[in-house]
Amino acid sequence: MSTTTSSASEMTSPKPVYKSWALMAYEADEEERLQKEEEEREKFRKIVEERKYLLSIGEYELEDGEILE
């Protein structure tokens, strides 16, 4: 006798996935880290854009080895 048949309710509603407190804390820390990295990239991008503008109007001089991308 096979037990391959199941009720329709079992097929339509997946079982909830439970996470441990450690996993939830890790995920929260990872999300915070990614958010901080994105904020730092945005801050750096704004600095570069400002320097490019100042350079274009002659108000900024590149330092030795500095490259504005």
Sketch the domain layout of the chain as residue ranges.
29-62
Two structure tokens written together for 44: 């750096």
Question: Can you give the pLDDT at residue 24?
Answer: 95
Tokens of 11: 């097929």
Higher-confidence residue of 13 and 53: namely: 53
Residue 12 banded pLDDT, cuts 50, 70, 90: confident
Rounded CA-CA distance 38/40 in Å is 5
Q: How far apart are CA 22 and CA 32, in angstroms?
A: 15
Q: What is the pTM of this model?
A: 0.61
